[in-house]
């Protein structure tokens, strides 16, 4: 074991491996109850989540829809709703899988906000982008896309008395693999503590299509590298990330990359600093 494994796993509240299908179902019920409690505690009536077509947003969407349906069935109010939001940048190359996710979730409502014009308008108005290399500009605007998507989700949530769901989980959190104040901004994170293969286990148990359960994860934010796999960006596989977080042996180089990335991305997991 790497000397930091236990410390990092505890900081991210990593879940223990599931001991069979019953444990998966119990975890689903726990996370659905968590979502319901968030709604009750906030006094809000709506959940809002961007659906990309990946396994993370599909799983979170299935949990959210189950949560509001359960509250309606229990007589807590017919006005509890889940709104799935499609947030393409112009034309999304895997739009068919995003629609497959929507079809499997069957949300109460589905809205579409194309962020292309907003991102391009901001880019044209931002002088600081002018002297960047094409690769650096593409990277910066990738984060702008993530932040614009969150602006859209909060606009819908504000209009509909709702909470915004995030899809972050332990395997992304450890790598800082989210945009600060972009997809990292949300009101609740029902997948927190899960490693990647556990997200897939929940997705399969919730009835997600196998095509989405096994889909290669991609943030798909960079135009110069469309569909770039997460693992290419990480420099380490999700298999090794999951093993590291769950206290299993991993190659020395993989452990080094994970720990260094965790330390470098610490600012993303912290609240804004303030004077003491």
What are the beta bridge partners of residue 163? 47
- Hey, what CATH topology would domain 18-223 get? Rossmann fold (3.40.50)
pLDDT at 62: 98
* H or E segment to which residue 198 belongs: helix 196-205
At 222-272, the pLDDT tens digits run: 888 888 888 988 999 999 999 999 999 999 999 999 999 999 999 999 999
Dist. CA 102–CA 106, nearest whole Å: 6
Find, among 76, 165, 68, 148, the residue nearest to 113 by Cα: 148
Packing angle of the helix pair 238-245, 196-205 (nearest 10 deg): 100
Dist. CA 273–CA 165, nearest whole Å: 24
pLDDT at 91: 87
For the chain, the C-alpha Rg in angstroms (whole number) is 19
Residue listed under structure tokens 């509001």: 68
Find, among 200, 229, 216, the residue nearest to 97 by Cα: 216
**Longest alpha-carbon distance in the chain:** 58
Domain locations along the chain: 18-223
Q: Determine the distance from the C-alpha atom of residue 222 to the mean position of all C-alpha atoms in its chain, rounded to a whole number.
A: 17
Q: Determine the distance from the C-alpha atom of residue 253 to the mean position of all C-alpha atoms in its chain, rounded to a whole number.
A: 26
Dump strand ranges (E) for 147-239: 162-164
Dist. CA 258–CA 187, nearest whole Å: 27
pLDDT at 219: 79
Give the pLDDT means over successive 10-residue stretches in the chain (276 positions). Answer: 90 97 98 98 98 97 98 98 97 90 98 97 97 96 96 98 97 96 96 98 98 90 84 93 96 96 96 92
pLDDT at 228: 86
Instruction: Judge whether 247 and 1 are in contact, CB under 8 Å.
Output: yes
* H or E segment to which residue 109 belongs: strand 109-112
Instruction: Judge whether 51 and 102 are in contact, CB under 8 Å.
Output: yes
Catalytic residues: 56, 172
Length of the chain: 276
Beta-strand relationship, 81-86 and 109-112? parallel
């Amino acid at each position: 074991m790497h000397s930091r494994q236990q410390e990092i796993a505890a900081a991210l509240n990593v879940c223990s491996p599931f001991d069979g299908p019953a444990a998966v179902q119990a975890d689903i019920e726990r996370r659905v109850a968590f979502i319901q409690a968030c709604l009750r505690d906030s006094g809000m009536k709506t959940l809002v989540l961007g659906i990309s077509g990946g396994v993370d947003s599909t799983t979170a969407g299935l949990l959210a829809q189950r949560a509001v349906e359960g509250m309606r069935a229990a007589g807590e109010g017919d006005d509890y709703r889940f709104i799935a939001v499609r947030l393409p940048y112009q034309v999304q190359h895997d739009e068919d899988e995003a629609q497959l996710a929507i079809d499997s979730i069957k949300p109460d409502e589905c809205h579409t906000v194309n962020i292309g014009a907003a991102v391009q308008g901001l880019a044209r108005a931002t002088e600081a982008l002018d002297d960047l290399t094409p690769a650096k500009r593409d990277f910066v605007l990738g984060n702008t896309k993530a932040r614009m998507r969150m602006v859209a989700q909060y606009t819908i949530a504000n209009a509909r008395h709702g909470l915004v769901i995030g899809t972050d989980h332990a395997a992304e959190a450890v790598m800082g693999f989210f945009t600060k104040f972009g997809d990292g901004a949300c009101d609740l994170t029902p997948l927190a503590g899960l490693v990647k293969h556990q997200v897939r286990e929940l997705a399969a148990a919730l009835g997600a299509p196998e095509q989405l359960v096994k889909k290669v994860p991609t943030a798909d934010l960079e135009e110069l590298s469309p569909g770039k796999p997460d693992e290419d960006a990480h420099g380490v596989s999700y298999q090794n990330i999951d093993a590291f977080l769950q206290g299993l042996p991993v190659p020395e180089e993989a452990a080094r990359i994970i720990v260094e990335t965790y330390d470098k991305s610490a600012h993303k997991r912290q609240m804004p600093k303030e004077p003491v």
